[in-house]
Each structure stands twice: as C-alpha cells, then as structure tokens.
Amino acid sequence: MKQEGLDGFEDHPEKILGRALIEYCKQDEGFLQKIRNYAMEVFEVSRRIQEDDPSAKDSLEQFGKAIIEPKEISLRTTFVDKV
C-alpha cells in the first residue's frame, strides 16, 4: 500500500478507499451508475459460476469490459480568433 500512497495513515487503507467511493458516488451520477452496473455484473457472473452454467467462462472473460472500456467521445470546440 506504500506505493499507492496509502500508508502512514491512522485509518486502514480499505476505510480510506471506502470513504472515497462514497464521496465519488455522491458527486458523480455516472460513477454511481458504473458501480451499480459492476455490482450487478458480479452477481450475475457469480450466479453462473455457482450454477455451472456453460456461459460462465464467456461471462468471466467479458467481465467489466462494458464498464471500463471507453466509449467514443466527441467534443465540440469553437474557436474565436480575436485579433
């Protein structure tokens, strides 16, 4: 945890990360939705593994990709040249 900068604090690193997660969820609706999607995906993959579902391997290989892979983003910019 030293490399991540989470050593030398009074609180346990997991407590610090948990608090950060709560704060980000409060401030960013998109982040909160990603956390919800992640939790649902964990549940679904776990269920498939427990039920010995043949699609479990594929689900595990695809796990998280829809959440972390960037979508195409286009930004509009307007330049006003004041001479």
**Which range, of 6-15, 60-69, 72-81, averages the lowest pLDDT?**
72-81
How high is the pLDDT of residue 43?
A: 92
How high is the pLDDT of residue 52?
A: 92
User: Tens of pLDDT along 50-69?
Assistant: 999 988 888 888 887 777 76
One-character DSSP codes across 4-61: TT--S-SS-HHHHHHHHHHHHHHH-HHHHHHHHHHHHHHHHHHHHHHTT-TTHHHHHH
Query: Domain limits of the chain?
Result: 13-66
Q: How far is CA 59 from CA 16, 63, 64, 71, in A?
A: 31, 6, 9, 20
Taking 60 as the threshold, does the pLDDT of residue 83 lie above it?
Answer: no
Say how many C-beta atoms besides its own lie within 10 A of residue 16's C-beta: 15
For the whole model, what pTM was predicted?
0.56
